[in-house]
């Protein structure tokens, strides 16, 4: 977590006039108590009205609020367009989160910066999306983040079925098609699977470690090398 994000979270935890000990903050934020002490001192020095001391706990006086978020109109339009794209093309949980984020942003914007959503004529439609693909997106995003080994039933471009055990690494969106970048244990190599060709997904029950040569960074490196080879062939 970036230090700026941690400072923001400390203020959020101290809201509501409750006394919170440094030990509890350190557990929530996964840092040492010494780090919390330093952060609180810095927040106090910047004008945040935090009262208390090390060994006693800290409390935030009522009436304090963070400065309002400041976005330009173009930034607000970009955020709204992104939320609508995700609502049309993303997973169910992802789309819901995008909508909630826009509501929260709108709630803290100064009145003069607010733009009514119906004034932004940017829309996205996805008649090709199915509930199965939406469910796959949510499932795979969580599995990649938690490094869960998965078993999938997959059909290739010819319709030939296969069963694979994979390590999900990341999701790519190509405009109308979502794909999964994964390490395939059957092929012992990276593979890119189209989500609309996955008929079944299930967890294998264990996690995988980030082994050298099998990570997303390694995939990007190999992808860039292949792109470089293709470019040299075209230029030759």
In this prediction, residues 125-147 reach a mean pLDDT of 93
Q: Which structural domain, as residue segments, surrounds residue 81?
A: 73-119
Same domain membership, residue 102 and residue 148: no
Q: How many domains does the chain fold into?
A: 3
Same domain membership, residue 215 and residue 157: yes
How far is CA 70 from its chain centroid?
22
Same domain membership, residue 176 and residue 105: no
CATH number at residue 229: 2.30.30
Same domain membership, residue 189 and residue 169: yes
Average pLDDT of the chain is 86
Residue 21 located in a structural domain: yes
How far is it, in rounded angstroms, from Cα 16 to Cα 140? Answer: 37
Cα–Cα distances in Å, from 124 out to 14, 74, 87, 168, 172? Answer: 40, 18, 8, 28, 18
Same domain membership, residue 147 and residue 115: no
Torsion angles phi and psi, residue 97, rounded to 5:
-65, -40
Residue 125 located in a structural domain: no
Same domain membership, residue 157 and residue 89: no
Alpha helices, DSSP H, located in the chain? 3-14, 22-29, 33-45, 73-89, 92-108, 131-146, 216-235
How far is it, in rounded angstroms, from Cα 94 to Cα 99? Answer: 9
Q: What is the pLDDT of residues 14-41, one digit of tens each?
A: 876 778 899 999 998 989 999 999 999 9
Residue 191 located in a structural domain: yes
Residue 61: which pLDDT band, with cuts at 50, 70 and 90?
confident
In this prediction, residues 77-99 reach a mean pLDDT of 88
Q: What is the pLDDT of residues 195-225, one digit of tens each?
A: 999 999 999 999 999 999 999 999 999 888 8
């Amino acid at each position: 977590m970036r230090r700026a994000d941690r400072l923001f979270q400390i203020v959020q935890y101290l809201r509501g006039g409750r006394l919170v000990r440094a030990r509890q903050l350190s557990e929530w934020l996964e840092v040492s108590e010494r780090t919390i002490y330093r952060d609180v001192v810095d927040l106090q020095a910047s004008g945040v009205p935090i009262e208390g001391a090390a060994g006693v706990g800290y409390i935030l006086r009522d009436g304090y609020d963070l400065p309002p978020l400041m976005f330009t109109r173009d930034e607000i339009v970009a955020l709204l367009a992104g939320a609508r794209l995700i609502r049309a093309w993303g997973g169910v949980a992802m789309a819901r989160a995008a909508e909630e984020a826009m509501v929260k942003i709108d709630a803290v914007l100064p009145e003069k910066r607010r733009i009514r959503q119906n004034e932004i004529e940017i829309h996205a439609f996805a008649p090709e999306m199915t509930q199965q693909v939406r469910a796959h997106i949510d499932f795979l995003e969580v599995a990649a983040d938690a490094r869960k080994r998965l078993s999938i039933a997959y059909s290739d471009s010819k319709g030939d079925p296969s069963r694979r055990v994979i390590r999900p690494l990341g999701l790519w969106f190509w405009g109308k098609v979502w794909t999964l970048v994964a390490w395939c244990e059957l092929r012992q190599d990276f593979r890119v699977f189209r989500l609309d060709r996955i008929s079944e997904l299930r967890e294998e029950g264990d996690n995988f470690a980030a082994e050298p040569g099998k990570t997303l960074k390694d995939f990007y490196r190999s992808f860039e090398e292949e792109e470089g080879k293709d470019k040299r062939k075209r230029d030759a």
